[in-house]
Amino acid sequence: MSGTLYLIPTPLGDTALNQVLPEATRRIVAGLTTFIVEHPKTARAFLRQVDTALPLQQLTLLGLNEHTQPHELVALLAPLLTGQDVGLISEAGCPAVADPGADLVRLAHGHGIRVKPLVGPSSILLALMGSGLVGQRFAFHGYLPAKPEKRARALRALEKRAETEDAAQIFIETPYRNIAMLEAILSTCRGDTLLTLACDLTLETEQLMTRPVQHWRAAEDMLLSRRPCVFLLYRRKPPVCPQSPLPGRQCDPGAPRSGHRTR
């Protein structure tokens, strides 16, 4: 019988574990002896806070990062296939979400290995929850292109998708490029498109605000530089006026409407 692959969330920044990880999660992590990690140094710092049952030097840390080749993933499953429980640790937040661990999780399912996600912080969901944007439909796009022309095209495509699909569009950026991303949004997107910036989530320095693009000012409202930040875009498609004889004519949002409203 194979072991269980535990997906272990980690804090989004310098936060006490008991503020972001439930006791049940910390207890499971403390009992494990083998971990698959992106960077051993940061993984050890996290495990030191967990107070593992074995000393750190006796724990087994197996590497998995963006340079890991597909054929190397099978070897990472070896302890699990012998019946040993293993923890997959993300650098920050939840494993396998904007994280190289997704390929390993899919492979584990293919081998009939039990996968158990543990409770912990997700910057993407926390940002969506706090944005006030549509939560029934959303898409996460990871990182957008860094080159200005391609980034502008990607932003226009997301803005259009947000309107046509009535869905929030979520993406992230490398912290040192946050200001460039904000400036690109301000120069590319429509003024009435809603933009949410969610920075330093779960930290004492957390800032989260939703405004129309036209009400943001580049780098003036938030100290974006070198802070983990989640960006969200959304614009509602104007309703078609049912009383209008002209196909596709938009309603005046201030005009009275008849009929019952349901939800």
Condensed to tens digits (0 to 9), the pLDDT of residues 130-170 reads 999 998 999 999 999 999 999 999 999 999 999 999 999 99
Secondary-structure breakdown of the chain: helix, strand, coil percentages, each rounded to the nearest 5: 35, 20, 45
Say if strands 194-199 and 138-143 run parallel, antiparallel, or are unpaired.
Answer: unpaired
Q: Are 166 and 236 in contact (CB under 8 A)?
A: yes
Q: What does the pLDDT read at residue 20? A: 95
Q: What does the pLDDT read at residue 256? A: 43
Domain 4-117 has CATH 1.10.540.10: no
Q: What does the pLDDT read at residue 262? A: 43
The type of residue at 241 is C
Q: What does the pLDDT read at residue 242? A: 59
Tokens of 116: 């158990």
Q: What does the pLDDT read at residue 197? A: 96
Judge if 4-117 and 123-234 fold alike in CATH terms: no
DSSP 91-117: SSBSTTSSSTHHHHHHHHHHTT-EEEE
Q: Which residues of the chain have pLDDT under 50?
A: 249, 253-263
Report how far residue 161's alpha carbon sits from residue 182's, in angstroms, rounded to the nearest whole number. Answer: 19
Bridge partners of 197? 209, 231
| Pick from 28, 36, 24: nearest CA to 95 | 36
Q: What does the pLDDT read at residue 250? A: 55
Enumerate the domain spans of the chain: 4-117, 123-234
What CATH number is given for 123-234 in this structure? 3.30.950.10
pTM for this one?
Answer: 0.85
